[in-house]
Amino acid sequence: VEVETWGTADHLTVQIGLSRDDQRLAAEVPITDGIAEVVLDVESPVLWWTHDLGEPALYDLVVRLRTENSILDERQERVGIRTIRVDQSPDPNEPGCKFFTFVLNDVPIFAKGANWIPADSFLSQMTEDRYRELLELAVEAHMSMLRVWGGGIYEKPEFYRLCDELGILIWQDFMFACARYPDYDPDFYAEVAREAEWIVRRLRNHPCLALWCGNNENDWIEDMVYWDQPGHDFPGRKIYHELLPRLVGKLDPTRLYWPSSPYGGNDHNDEREGDRHNWQTWHGAIYPRRFGEPPRRDFSPEGVSFRHYAEDPARFISEFGMHAAPILETLRRNVPPEELYLGSEGMLYRNKDFPKDKGNNLMLAHTGLPKDLNQYIDFSMIAQAEGLKFGIEHYRRRKPHCSGTLFWQLNDTWPGLSWSVLDYYTFPKAGYFYVRRAYAPVMASFKREDDGGYSLWIVNDTLEAVTDEVIWGVCTFEGAIWHREKVHVNVPANSSCRITHMAGDQLPGDPRRTFLFVRSSSGCFPDNREFRVEVKDLIRPHPSLTVGMSQDESGRITVRVSSDVYAYFVKLIVPIEGTRFSDNYFDIFPGEERVVQVWNIAGRTISPAEVEVSCLDHV
């Protein structure tokens, strides 16, 4: 405890109390040269965990500054007891590579999450309720880590307190991003030191804080611009590689300081160690690359296809993503009615990427180009959602060699067209629900093999083994079963397992007219499917949806949707803020029914007439 005094400091003591339920510890110690120090030994502590692995248990800490007769000052905090480290040891099964695995309470974890950016351009608009809404949506999507991006802000105290309470780990960037900062200017350098010391002291007691990172992409961009001068000095190097590690080592030595993101290996975006930003999809960057080599790009539809994620053997992916439009309601609120059409100036203004048509090549690769605004909303959402699903499934299957995915990005700072899965008004895009299923604690997925066949994998992120009977096979979009098989599985805790395989010459049916499916007999993982060709190349019959709705006394609506044939991209649209869905943007297998709950957390009563249900007919 550090104490500042203005006047006499005689007979000052510090009382410290730590408590949780029936555990109570206390001590009183004198102050010596402005410092009071005590160690409290907690027997059988209740540990702080991320929400997916246990309880984010918190203790109440009270610190009082006293004279003999009165309390002069008091601080109260909620703190957690846990250990956190990053395992960067060599990977024995992939020679020449190193792990980059967060280890929480001696348990190696796969960090599932996204990048967090400021949630409003006007910071005073960010209330605790808005923070809670966004963070609870992250928890509902099974996210265990968020990266506070270095191009944003150090968030308000409420943000970190809620992450403590909700069990979300935080990768914390220092606020340096995509620019050259003048470490040669003594006044600026001193200001950086003051700010960094202040923020480390402010945040270091939070159990949610997992890592300090020096900057976003500065080292990487510098090397790509000056690729023919590897290892050269550059503005900002003294900040990220000397000042910040020294301050963190002094003020918070229990956490890893990481110089930049991405960083590690031969090229700052090396797939063999450290963390990577995979921007081949969307930005066309080609990997691998090594120091001294010029950067290369391929902006063709094939070059930006999200299928390239399957080629990535990276250890920890701290950025990757794709643009998608928000729902039509968000555009209606912000684009003049006369410009609410595809390609208008009003629409282009809401797209902050450059060039404005960059997403066309991604859609050309997977959905084809849209003909109008409604198609653009659907096609861009499909490209983003299918791409995030494909990438996350690939990276999770590589566990433990890969140990985390933080896609770009969770939220939006402004109503526009962006990489977010939650738009400015917190309306979820399709990508949010696809990610929620892909981040489920237990996940089944298919991997395309070199022989043209597919292997079935189950990833188990829980701390208990999963025993189940899995049903998988090949089905036509009309409902004819070409292959169906039951497999008894036992997947160890915290592992990824290959279950079975079907060679390419054994796969039945026309790949354009069939799909692979997998489901759990016990419901321990979400149903999944795999298309053997791109969405644009599927040949599907026209689905006929049957929709029924009922509403209970609390206002909650139960929606029942069934289809005679395979229904792709079934969506429920309610353009009212605060509306939540138990599921959305899903597929319905032939002849089956899905039941969805709809409610509003903002207290707004929704009528069944305000729930629009549709699916994508043909691409």
Region of residue 22 (left: phi > 0; alpha: psi -120 to 50; beta: else): alpha
Pairing of the two strands 111-116 and 404-407: parallel
Compute the C-alpha angle 366/318/495, nearest 5°: 85
* Helix, coil or strand: residue 378: helix
Of 443, 444, 418, nearest to 431 by C-alpha is: 418
- Please tell me what DSSP assigns to residue 240: I
* Residue 217 annotated to the active site: yes
Of 104, 6, 142, 58, nearest to 433 by C-alpha is: 142
Residue 249: CB atoms within 10 A of its CB come to: 11
The C-alpha torsion from 505 through 508 and 511 to 515, rounded to 10°, is -120
* Helix, coil or strand: residue 308: helix
Alpha helices in 290-372 (DSSP H): 328-334, 345-349, 358-366
For 86, phi and psi rounded to 5 degrees? -120, 115
* Helix, coil or strand: residue 470: strand
Chain Cα centroid distance, residue 103 = 18
* Helix, coil or strand: residue 14: strand
CA distance 618 to 182: 54
Task: Spot the catalytic one: 217, 271, 386, 530.
Answer: 217
Which residues are annotated as catalytic? 217
